[in-house]
Structure 1
């Protein structure tokens, strides 16, 4: 627990220091806005070309070529999912949750983009539809689809409880990626990374600043939909926490499957659209 009583007395100008107005670290006005109208027109022409059902407390991989769409849906009950994305042609380029959070905020919704890791650092997927966009932020500071949590994992579970639980999202994603690549768990594990917590309702407590979760508002029929900016390999885990109203990393929560569907637009529906170029920094690093 964090100490509730400070060890040091505040200085005489404490109130003035606290009253300093915040400055946004990364103003995004100069970013090229996603072509949402183009994407949505193309989506209206799209037909489903693939689907993958993610079993409860497990994970599966899926592929989405650049210029196609994918949807993650709740199909049976309130359930959250942990999403990893990679460049399908180079697994070293993967979702960078920390930079995505710095650019777009703690929770994502329509028009926000998932950005890739250095040195490419470019948009990899753009959110084009979100049936939970009505939720906003609640009185506790909670919202949905966060990029602040990492993923439930067996290492933290072991640290806190001493247990050996194997269906944490980290392990689920590791198994799914190893199966897809036909490699060992040890080879797959370094590629698993911090996630987009799809449908999860989270925030930070105002008194201690601790990461919290609460029952997700997601219901069967709700979905989050994306446009693939580059060729994507995805992995989605149906979290063992179910709707995350109580706990995760155990078999006690009611859990449900999630559905991933992939849609291909008609030829020519995207016009002259092309995948984003990799980041323009010359990588000289001052040398």
Structure 2
């Protein structure tokens, strides 16, 4: 049986790299593997072929010798209704510790040397789920997508990257307050010490916040953190870290109260640094030098650039017909996989099975 796949250049490149990696002898054989493994529910675990990944030498960013044991550099109590911006150098860690227990803390992170690189909840959520904990990483926003901090210790595993920061508007529209403590305003005030504006506040890593997603809707629950419970975050680059006491006292977030927490900044010891797993660097983690427009705007009003010429990558996009051979076993297995509710043609359904298998096999 002959089938026809309609593939664009990017899709053909993807499959060609699989063939170069000896995942199959040719495209027909790769399709057979995809169909049969999918039908059996036994999808292989394969390495993504031909990427630029290499070991990230983040320790080269350290500006100080690594002590054998931790060294306490700074300690203070973060009071209700407040936040504090901290310069945390690569190889230092921030410890947020409960004093009374059950207090949510919002945590913003910026690259200390380029504030336009900042912690991104979406990237972190995609890689680590909605409740990141010990062993996970705080990632920066596209187009950089770099590891900013490593969650070294988490005694509760009660953190969130689903909910946005609470705001003044939330407390007016939902509760009728003209003025109320809220994370957006507290963050803005704390960051103002470094010249940042309210527009620079980003969605935070919500420490000690119990959440879930049920039937597509996020929910907040009571939390059970106790005095002494803590989260430790190790800086993998120089960052501005900004913890603030969540201002919610009319929600379950902090069990209907607002309480202080202890904040410490440490120079990490050798064992702390050794706990960080190997991280990878990629060519696609873009730098400012690669931007076609690297200049940060000063004016708020937008105006069209009359000299602009589009330079979109890999365009125009066109499909090409590629013939494949299906033996009887493959054709029969494919018949049970064809999503007739989605695809009217055999070629579309074959492409779906092949590319869906590829993503599952390579954990993309």
TM-score by length of structure 2 reads 0.56
Contact 2:111–2:239, Cα closer than 8 Å, also in 1: yes
Within 5 Å, which residues of 2 pair with 1:141-180?
144-178=158-192, 180=193
1:120 is aligned to 2:170: no
Q: Secondary structure at the match of 1:60?
A: coil
Distance 1:247 1:64, change over 3 A: closer
- In structure 2, C-alpha distance between the alignment counterparts of 1:62 and 1:53, rounded to whole Å: 13
2:258 alignment counterpart: 255
The alpha carbon displacement at 1:162 in A equals 4.2
Partner residue, 2:82:
58
Q: Aligned pair in 2 of structure 1 residues 89, 52: CA closer, same or farther (>3 Å)?
A: farther
Asked if 1:188 is matched to 2:200, the reply is no
Tell me, in whole angstroms, the C-alpha distance in 2 between the residues paired with 1:78 and 1:162. 25
For residues 132 and 96 of structure 1, the distance between their equivalents in structure 2, rounded to whole angstroms, comes to 22
Max Rg structure: 2
Query: In 2 relative to 1, CA 191–278 (structure 1 residues): closer, same or farther, beyond 3 Å?
Result: farther
CA drift of 1:241 comes to: 2.4
Report the number of matched residues: 233
What is the RMSD of the two structures over their aligned residues, measured on CA atoms? 3.5
Cα separation, partners in 2 of 1:151 and 1:230, compared to 1, 3 Å: same
Is contact 1:47-1:264 (8 Å) kept? yes
What secondary structure, in the 3-state scheme, does the structure 1 residue paired with 2:96 have?
A: strand
Give the gaps of 5 or more residues in structure 2.
Answer: 1-40, 58-65, 291-310, 315-364
Distance 1:204 1:192, change over 3 A: same
* Gap change, CA 1:221 and 1:198, over 3 Å in 2: same
**Mapped contact 1:216–1:244 kept (Cα < 8 A):** no
Change (3 A) 1:233 1:64: same
Task: Please list, as runs of the form range in 1=range in 2, the aligned pairs for 1:13-52 lying within 5 A after superposition.
Answer: 45-52=69-76
Q: From 84, 91, 102, give the equivalent of 2:108.
A: 84
> Is the 1:75–1:258 Cα contact (8 Å) retained in structure 2?
yes
Aligned: 1:217 with 2:224: yes
Task: Say if 1:119 and 1:279, in contact at 8 Å, map to a contact too.
Answer: no
From the two aligned structures, give the one with the greater helix fraction.
2
Question: Residues of 2 paired with 1:213 and 1:268: CA distance?
Answer: 35
The answer as to whether partners of 1:120 and 1:278 remain within 8 angstroms in 2 is: no
The corresponding residue for 1:264 is: 267
